[in-house]
Structure 1
Amino acid sequence: MTREPEVLVIGGGATGVGVARDLALRDVDVALIDRDGLCGGTTGRSHGLLHSGARYADTDPEGAAECLAENRILRRIAGVCVRETGGLFLALDGDDDAYFDAKRDACDSVGIPVETVDPATARDRAPGLSADVERAMSVPDAVVSPSRLVAATALDADRHGATIHPHAPLESLTVRGERVTAARVGGRLDDVFRPDVVVNAAGAWAGEVAAMAGVTVAMQPTRGVMVSVDSEGIGPVLNRCRSPADGDIVVPHRTEAVLGTTSVPVRDPDDYDTPRGEIETVIDECAAMVPELADRPIVRHWWGVRPLYAPDEADRGGRGISRGFTLLDHADDGVDGFVTVVGGKLTTYRLMAESTADLVSDWLGVDASCRTADRELPAVDDPNRLDRAVATFDGAGPADVDLLDVPE
């Protein structure tokens, strides 16, 4: 049976599911496919930080302001998907005072609430901090459950008419007359879609999807390791206040702390090295902030691959510069009705989806505005229902598995 939705979204991470939700709320007939369960790529393999924007305030004020705005939106609409923790930026003995001052001033300029606190106050908020902590400032970071957030977003998309298809890998795209006319899908569906518009939200695999349409999307994925250790009571998110480097963040989860991360370019997002040395480096560096982390049992570790767009990475000059998102209209490449969205951060997934849905709506002549910032996601006051949705969409990722009650 051939399926004929107006829009086919390829990719079931936060951005793809966000696009499906946004379009469905505009009464667009939309279908979404993913080769695995939802949240199986970059989204589900993150550290679960809901950015305040402070990390980017000094290098990309516009991107930092986007993070802050989306942080506040998700706090309003995502319920138990978000846990209020606050965050601390910490300068240790030997760290650059000028960097700390520049970070604080940049937060003030962007409008990020920031408060300089003395080391004793910081230790009250985060027991176990190193005696080497000399300066600290608080920012409104938080922790997000990627699996629950994606499941809630998918529930809302489904509620408004979208069809969500996990374990439905894209096998080919057919281009005729400068338009994608068909998408062959395998797995559980084994079917053909004939959409009016195709959205490529495949993350680190976006280049492979684009190539099926004869289009080049130059990706520069980078791998990063996360290490979850048995640890309670840390309190806030901890950020090392220095130029971004390996092992500069600790994200507190329910009974664990996620330590991150590294950033190493890879050629293939499905096939890359996972050296043990990176795990040890991350633990050692994070233990500089909280010494007891060096001795805590490792519960699990995982690598994620960031979906970075190569031209943007070249312009930004590498690690540490805010990674915004890129929206590519492939009409410029001779293929109408085909768009790719890459880059960005989990915190800004809703904004990425809105921008993509705006473009698609223009193409389709849909006169409806975005409603996703003002509508609470479904089931976000009911963790059990959310976890059932995670199971339904096979969307449990390693980032928050300690939080979920999902049958194995």
Structure 2
Amino acid sequence: MSDTPTVLVIGGGATGAGVARDLALRGVDVTLVDRGGLAGGTSGRSHGLLHSGARYAEDDPRGAEECLRENRTLREIAGACLRETDGLFVRLGGDDPNYFEEKVAACEEIGIETERLDADEAQAVVPGLSDDVAEAFRVPDGVIYPSRLVAANAADAERHGATVHTDAPVEAVETADGAVSTVRVGGDVDAALRPDHVVNATGAWADRIADLAGVDVGMAPSRGVMISVKYDGLDPVLNRCRDPDDGDIVVPHEGEAVLGTTSVPVDDPDEYETADWEVERSIEECAAMLPAVAEAPEVRRWWGVRPLYAPDETGSNRRGISRGFTVIDHADEGVGNLHTVVGGKLTTYREMAELTADRVCERLGVDAACDTATEPLPGADDPARLDEFVERYGGANPTDAGVVSAAADDD
């Protein structure tokens, strides 16, 4: 390992691994470090939804367009890192029909393909759907297996010359002459690295790295619970067609259904309450769409922390914070070789990485195009190979533990 990489990427979630892959494909010498295994933070503790953009269509059309673009791109490059399921937005009898119409119109305006279904048609698509369903519409949602996706990005980065270290926490950042001069990395690395440029891709933990470097970010993280239950036969993702609220999504995961989620502000993304009411409310609300999940055996539960960026946030309701992403150049704060990438969604990780890599390459004077939208991920057509990558980088995370573990057991 070189102690003087051109770029040091801190954070091995989807965005960090995506940045490392993007830069490596452009010929940049890059090192990626994460304090644990890859995808162990937000990426691997999500519900695993591949967004069509419909969830954000009426309130955040730009974010919805980002989701739609990347949804289409990932279907081309990510193979078995995904499961193509489609999705339904379901209106129950007490839900506002005007909201339903606004949602459909907004999707159509953006270009998200929709198909209206009456109650009988919706119940034919999803056996066991509530008798209270009034209508639904289909969208091209899907499922992401984040442990596979992140590991495949890291493996491709290494294939193109990058260095990837797990169990490598950043312990200190030193600055001198308007730049990061040294990053002290502990764990298995135990070295002082002297990169030319640093990317802070630590998501909900971005403030911690920023503080070490003497700059500001402004995260407003919120926690959410996911409960995986045994449930066979669910094909599309189910979204409750109402203003976003607790327990409004059910995501199919090959013999399981993931129920979620809540949104509760947290001060510390490592130390926070995990409340029983979140579990109970999520199950109750999801069962309003799919009643059988209320009695389905629980497989596992986990909480994730959303990396919401809101430097001016003061309120307790964080559902309204944009799920868009931001790349922060800390040159205005006197640290000219540090960028932080924050916000966003798992679905848009590749685009987040591309924009970040563009900014870094501009600063470094590297004239090379991004190829990540067209180059398939290694192992995309081979689930067993993907799962080997997952084991290499720390093992499966809660979101897709059942899928990756099952695949490994079958080998």
**Fold shared, TM-score > 0.5 on shorter chain:** yes
Alignment of structure 1 residues 8-157 onto 2, 5 Å: 8-157=8-157
Amino acid at match of 2:32: L
1:304–1:279 distance in 2 versus 1, CA, 3 Å: same
1:54–1:358 distance in 2 versus 1, CA, 3 Å: same
1:74–1:3 distance in 2 versus 1, CA, 3 Å: same
Q: Which residue of 2 aligns with 1:167?
A: 167
1:230–1:312 distance in 2 versus 1, CA, 3 Å: farther
Deviations 1:361-383 (A, max 9, x none): 00110000111000000011111
For the residues of structure 2 that align with 1:314 and 1:326, how far apart are their CA atoms? 19
Q: Would you say how many aligned residue pairs link Structure 1 and Structure 2?
A: 407
For the residues of structure 2 that align with 1:254 and 1:87, how far apart are their CA atoms? 15
Deviations 1:124-177 (A, max 9, x none): 111110000001000000011000001111111010001000000000001001
Contact 2:217 2:311 survives alignment (8 Å): no
Deviations 1:49-69 (A, max 9, x none): 000000000001111011000
Q: Which residue of 2 aligns with 1:363?
A: 363
What 5-or-longer segments of structure 2 have no aligned partner? none
SS, match of residue 351 in structure 2: helix
Deviations 1:28-66 (A, max 9, x none): 000000000000000000001000000000001111011
For the residues of structure 2 that align with 1:61 and 1:216, how far apart are their CA atoms? 28
Amino acid at match of 2:387: D
Q: Which residue of 1 aligns with 2:288?
A: 288
What 5-or-longer segments of structure 1 have no aligned partner? none
Question: Offset at 1:395?
Answer: 3.9
For the residues of structure 2 that align with 1:139 and 1:246, how far apart are their CA atoms? 21
Amino acid at match of 1:17: A
Q: TM-score, normalised by structure 2?
A: 0.97
For the residues of structure 2 that align with 1:130 and 1:218, how far apart are their CA atoms? 42
Contact 1:59 1:321 survives alignment (8 Å): no
Contact 2:265 2:318 survives alignment (8 Å): no
Contact 2:6 2:29 survives alignment (8 Å): yes
SS, match of residue 404 in structure 2: coil
For the residues of structure 2 that align with 1:126 and 1:234, how far apart are their CA atoms? 7
Question: Offset at 1:312?
Answer: 6.9
Alignment of structure 1 residues 235-250 onto 2, 5 Å: 235-250=235-250
Contact 1:57 1:103 survives alignment (8 Å): yes
SS, match of residue 173 in structure 2: strand
For the residues of structure 1 that align with 2:309 and 2:83, how far apart are their CA atoms? 30
Amino acid at match of 2:255: T
For the residues of structure 2 that align with 1:373 and 1:96, how far apart are their CA atoms? 38
Question: Offset at 1:320?
Answer: 4.5
Deviations 1:328-366 (A, max 9, x none): 000011111100001100000000000000000001100
Q: Which residue of 2 aligns with 1:351?
A: 351
Contact 1:60 1:321 survives alignment (8 Å): no
Contact 1:151 1:395 survives alignment (8 Å): no
For the residues of structure 1 that align with 2:204 and 2:70, how far apart are their CA atoms? 22
Q: TM-score, normalised by structure 1?
A: 0.98
Question: Offset at 1:294?
Answer: 0.4
State percent identity of aligned pairs. 62
Amino acid at match of 2:289: M
For the residues of structure 2 that align with 1:259 and 1:292, how far apart are their CA atoms? 12
Question: Offset at 1:192?
Answer: 1.1
SS, match of residue 88 in structure 2: strand
Question: Offset at 1:306?
Answer: 0.6
